[in-house]
């Protein structure tokens, strides 16, 4: 049955069927072929969605759209540009800096690429930046969103396992900062080779003015993470607090959020939330079937015959996830594979938090690699670039992602230091 389910998925993917429907149909057909009651299909889908933790996802999505419509992406970009415009490749550096800020607001790579791309891409085009380079920078900036808290991908992981979502948020801070710094170094290096210089250094007054304008957005992630850490609210409650905060700032501080914007914001947030939740629901059915067919234990037994070395096991898992991420949407892959991989990590004695970060980083790389590469396709459309050229420009950024993933895997302190310090674990 496992083979049948895999074949059905591959055929539907090859036919261009949307991910959620391909996975759902594969699961439904497998249920029927296994002589299981068809009522299991809606039951498992609803069971997965009946999660308090998952409530955070729609709230954070709404938070991101409220902040974007409230003018936050433009303010973040202006502040980042004032700080970095005198650097080589200053507009690229500003784009990455603004992406870091949006990552701490939206939790979604798609939202990050869309919001920052709409502001940054026209300016980079006017200054003569290669569209493929622009698309590569935007794609890499989007990669940060599920790593820097808050993160929808982390919320999904925590809702499936017993790993604390708050601890996952904290664990992503150091890897996220490391990625951002290395991405900026790559932008500097590529800008030097492509001949992109800097602009006139911003005055202290201009830096202060752009900082003051972006202040309410800059402190939002700090307030949220701080509130979660000290126990003022849970990660789920933080989503609701974030949405209320964004509404207040956009309406009464920036005064750019008007009643005429509400329908568009809620429509976009609803569509994105619905799309994500449909993928989660259908993937949950497939994940349950994999567990019923005892795939987790089969995987443990197989890996035990291949190696007893935890270090080699991590490398094998990362390699497998890199390949899978190239073909399956990251949320769907997470829902399907986490119930399989979490027992493997426990069996081989990995810290659940450390193992979670390795899995999430490895899966996330698929968002910037062909043929899936959802961030790349979106950024490419925004920048008006050639897709093949964009993937070539992404190579050094991809190298950074692989290096950081390996560092996280083999230097656990990168993910465990802050949670251990804050929670005493």
Give the model confidence (pLDDT) of 198-211 as tens digits: 888 999 999 999 99
The burial of 326, by beta-carbon neighbours within 10 Å (0-12 exposed, 13-18 middle, 19 or more buried), is given as middle
Quick check: 199 and 92 in contact, CB under 8 A?
no
Give the model confidence (pLDDT) of 10-33 as tens digits: 788 777 778 788 888 888 888 888
Residue 94 is predicted with a pLDDT of: 94
Report the predicted TM-score, pTM, of the whole model to 2 decimal places.
0.86
pLDDT at 393 over 90: yes
- Categorize the per-residue pLDDT at 91 as very low, low, confident or very high, splitting at 50, 70 and 90: very high
CA atoms within 13 A on the CB side of 324: 23
**What tokens appear for 79 in the block?**
């502040």
Residue 424 is predicted with a pLDDT of: 61
- Categorize the per-residue pLDDT at 49 as very low, low, confident or very high, splitting at 50, 70 and 90: confident
What's the rounded mean pLDDT across residues 98-113?
84
Q: Give percent of the chain above pLDDT 90.
A: 32
Among 1-5, 32-36, 98-102, 402-406, whose mean pLDDT is lowest? Answer: 1-5
Give the model confidence (pLDDT) of 220-262 as tens digits: 888 887 787 777 888 788 888 888 988 998 888 888 888 898 9
Give the model confidence (pLDDT) of 66-87 as tens digits: 877 888 888 889 999 999 989 9
The whole-chain average pLDDT of the chain stands at 87
pLDDT at 425 over 70: no
Q: How far is CA 7 from CA 10, 292, 327, 335, 385, in A?
A: 5, 18, 14, 19, 34
The residues near 313 (Cβ < 8 Å, ≥ 6 apart) are 303, 307, 344, 348
CA atoms within 13 A on the CB side of 90: 18
DSSP letter at 234 equals -
Residue 10 is predicted with a pLDDT of: 74
What residues does each domain of the chain span?
Answer: 52-274+293-423
Residue 2 is predicted with a pLDDT of: 67
Of 216, 301, 300, 287, the C-alpha closest to 251 is: 216
What's the rounded mean pLDDT across residues 403-414?
95
Give the model confidence (pLDDT) of 320-346 as tens digits: 888 888 877 788 888 888 888 888 888
Q: How far is CA 13 from CA 26, 244, 277, 405, in A?
A: 11, 39, 19, 28
Quick check: 152 and 113 in contact, CB under 8 A?
no
Residue 9 is predicted with a pLDDT of: 78
Interatomic CA distance for residues 324 and 318, integer angstroms: 10
Of 353, 361, 347, 346, the C-alpha closest to 404 is: 361
Interatomic CA distance for residues 417 and 294, integer angstroms: 35
Among 114-128, 165-179, 271-285, whose mean pLDDT is lowest? Answer: 271-285
Residue 357 is predicted with a pLDDT of: 95
Residue 360 phi, psi dihedral angles, 5° rounding: -65, -45
Helix, strand or coil, per DSSP, at residue 317: helix
Residue 203 parent element (H or E): none
Is the previous residue joined to 150 through a cis bond, with omega within 30 degrees of 0?
yes
Q: How far is CA 134 from CA 187, 368, 385, 389, in A?
A: 10, 14, 8, 11
Higher pLDDT, 342 or 188: 188
Is the previous residue joined to 17 through a cis bond, with omega within 30 degrees of 0?
no
**What tokens appear for 237 in the block?**
């409650």
Q: Give percent of the chain above pLDDT 70.
A: 98
What's the rounded mean pLDDT across residues 411-423?
87
């Amino acid at each position: 049955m496992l083979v049948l389910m895999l074949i059905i998925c591959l055929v539907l993917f090859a036919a261009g069927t949307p991910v959620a429907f391909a996975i759902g149909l594969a699961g439904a057909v497998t249920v029927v072929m296994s002589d299981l009651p068809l009522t299991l299909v809606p039951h498992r889908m609803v069971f997965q969605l009946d999660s308090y933790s998952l409530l955070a996802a729609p709230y954070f999505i709404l938070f991101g759209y409220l902040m974007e419509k409230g003018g936050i992406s433009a303010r973040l970009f202006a502040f980042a540009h004032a700080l970095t415009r005198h650097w080589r490749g200053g507009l690229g550096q500003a784009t990455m800096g603004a992406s870091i800020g949006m990552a701490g607001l939206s939790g979604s790579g798609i939202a990050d690429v869309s919001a920052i791309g709409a502001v940054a891409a026209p300016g980079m085009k006017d200054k003569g930046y290669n569209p493929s380079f622009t698309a590569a920078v935007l794609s890499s900036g989007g990669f940060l969103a599920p790593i820097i808290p808050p993160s929808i991908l982390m919320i999904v992981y925590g809702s499936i396992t017993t790993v604390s979502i708050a601890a996952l948020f904290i664990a992503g801070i150091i890897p996220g900062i490391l990625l951002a710094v290395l991405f900026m170094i790559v932008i500097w290096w590529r800008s030097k080779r492509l001949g992109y210089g800097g602009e006139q250094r911003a005055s202290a007054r201009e830096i202060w003015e752009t900082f003051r304008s972006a202040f309410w957005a800059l402190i939002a992630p700090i307030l949220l993470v701080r509130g979660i850490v000290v126990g003022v609210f849970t990660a789920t409650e933080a989503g609701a607090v974030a949405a209320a905060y964004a509404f207040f700032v956009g309406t009464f501080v920036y005064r750019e959020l008007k009643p005429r914007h509400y329908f568009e914001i809620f429509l976009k947030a609803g569509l994105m939330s619905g799309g994500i939740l449909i993928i989660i629901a259908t993937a949950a059915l497939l994940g349950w079937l994999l567990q019923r067919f005892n795939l987790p234990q089969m995987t443990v037994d197989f890996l035990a015959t291949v190696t007893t070395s935890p270090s080699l096991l991590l490398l094998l898992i990362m390699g497998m996830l890199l390949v899978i991420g190239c073909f399956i949407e990251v949320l769907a892959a997470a829902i399907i594979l986490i119930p399989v991989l979490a027992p493997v990590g426990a069996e081989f004695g990995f810290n659940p938090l450390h193992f979670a970060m390795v899995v999430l980083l490895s899966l996330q790389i698929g968002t910037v690699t062909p043929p899936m590469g959802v961030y790349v396709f979106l950024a490419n459309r925004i920048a008006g670039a050639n897709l093949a050229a964009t993937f070539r420009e992404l190579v050094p950024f991809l190298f950074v992602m692989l290096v950081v993933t390996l560092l996280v895997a083999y230097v656990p302190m990168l993910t465990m230091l802050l949670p251990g310090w804050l929670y005493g674990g």
